[in-house]
Structure 1
Amino acid sequence: MEGELWDLTDAAGTPVGRTHRRGDPDFPKGFFHVIAAVCVVREDGLVLITRRAAVKDYPLTWEFPAGSALEGETSRQAAVRELAEETGLRAEEEALVPVGRVVEAEALLDLYVVRGLGDLTLSLDPEEVADSTWVPLAEVFRRCDDERMARPWIDRLQLLGERLVELTR
């Protein structure tokens, strides 16, 4: 959300003791903030994707639940919090299996897979999420091909897709 504080990190993801307020201009060159995302896998192998709210960047495109780590949060803590805030689903940090990290211009994107969540009843945050659906992972890649996934996710899945396929089998 506008105004939240992010820890700045180096390229390895180590906090450097400085913060940046979301929305402030002039993100410091050479630093990053952490974004954490979760691919939830149901027992039948389907994965959860969410549709971004119309008021967000990349409106009404699809993605995995994700968001920026707040000041003092680890990537795993951010992943658990964002998943709960956006979808109502609860996961334990220890249940998150890392897929990998993508280094972007100002962010380090960490993608995790989680399985075995008990209650899969969704409670979507309408300020963040317009819709959700459970799909085979192959459908996620089809949505990349026809640009229905948010642009950053198309690039991220080109880098992490093979590993994601392995971890969701």
Structure 2
Amino acid sequence: MADDEMWDVTDIQGTPTGTLHRRGDGPVPTGSFHIVASVCLVSSSGRVLMSLRAAGKDYPLAWEFPAGSALRGETSRTGAVRELAEETGMVRAPDDLVLVGRVVEERALFDLWVARIEGEPVPVPDPEEVQDAEWVTLDVVHQRWQDGVFATPWNARFDQLWETLEQRVAEMRDRVDGA
């Protein structure tokens, strides 16, 4: 994750304003946002892929779904797919993603996506980003959230999106391949 990483600055609807922001230069201007996207990958058995943040990152050794900021020119979907691949080695196409919802945060628009994958492929974590990754039930995710071991921003995200996430995970689990 380089400090020369550039983000599109957006309005509250997520439309790029034409301004760029360099990661590491502090927050985007007040009233502006950048896109943060995450993927809850759902196996055909209904388990989901969680990742444990690396010790050197913000919110060290906290759980989350693979996530990160969309880079200049990326959509939320393409940013989410890139982050999933970078952090876990799991590859999905942008069209495989189904939106759970968007949370408007102080300076970010956070989009949570779900995508299905056949089986439970072995994750290949990027050690600079992710210390560990594992397939767990949604009940385990909920328990870890309640236990306070998720990265702090996930509390408000789950408060707003949990019920819809449960529905989308069930839909992904029950979906027939090719549907």
- Give the Cα–Cα distance (whole angstroms) in 2 for the partners of residues 53 and 89 of structure 1: 18
After TM superposition, the runs of 4+ consecutive aligned structure 1 residues lying more than 2 A away are 116-119
The equivalent of 2:21 in structure 1 is: 20
- Give the Cα–Cα distance (whole angstroms) in 2 for the partners of residues 10 and 107 of structure 1: 10
Contact 2:50 2:64 in 1 (8 A): yes
TM norm structure 2: 0.91
Count of matched residue pairs: 169
**Residues 28, 163 of structure 1: CA spacing in aligned structure 2 closer, same or farther, 3 A cutoff?**
same
Q: Structure 1 residues 39-48 or 21-30, which shifts more?
A: 21-30
The equivalent of 1:46 in structure 2 is: 47
- Give the Cα–Cα distance (whole angstroms) in 1 for the partners of residues 87 and 60 of structure 2: 15
What is the Cα deviation at residue 53 of structure 1? 0.3
* Counterpart residue type for residue 93 of structure 1: P
Structure 1: which 5+ residue stretches go unaligned?
A: none
The equivalent of 1:72 in structure 2 is: 73
- Give a deviation string over 1:41-96, Cα, whole Å, max 9, x none: 01111100000000111100000000100001111100110000000000011110
- Give the Cα–Cα distance (whole angstroms) in 2 for the partners of residues 161 and 25 of structure 1: 30
The equivalent of 1:160 in structure 2 is: 161
- Give the Cα–Cα distance (whole angstroms) in 1 for the partners of residues 76 and 118 of structure 2: 19
What is the Cα deviation at residue 26 of structure 1? 5.1
* Counterpart residue type for residue 16 of structure 2: P
- Give a deviation string over 1:112-165, Cα, whole Å, max 9, x none: 000035772321100000011111111111111110111111210110000000
- Give the Cα–Cα distance (whole angstroms) in 1 for the partners of residues 21 and 112 of structure 2: 22
Contact 1:101 1:109 in 2 (8 A): yes
Q: Tell me the percent identity.
A: 54
Structure 2: which 5+ residue stretches go unaligned?
A: 171-179
Secondary structure of the residue aligned to 2:17 is strand
Contact 2:36 2:70 in 1 (8 A): yes
- Give the Cα–Cα distance (whole angstroms) in 1 for the partners of residues 89 and 68 of structure 2: 14
- Give the Cα–Cα distance (whole angstroms) in 2 for the partners of residues 125 and 57 of structure 1: 16
Correspondences of 1:15-164 after superposition (within 5 Å)? 15-25=16-26, 27-117=28-118, 120-164=121-165
Aligned CA-pair RMSD:
1.2
- Give the Cα–Cα distance (whole angstroms) in 1 for the partners of residues 27 and 76 of structure 2: 23
* Counterpart residue type for residue 116 of structure 2: R
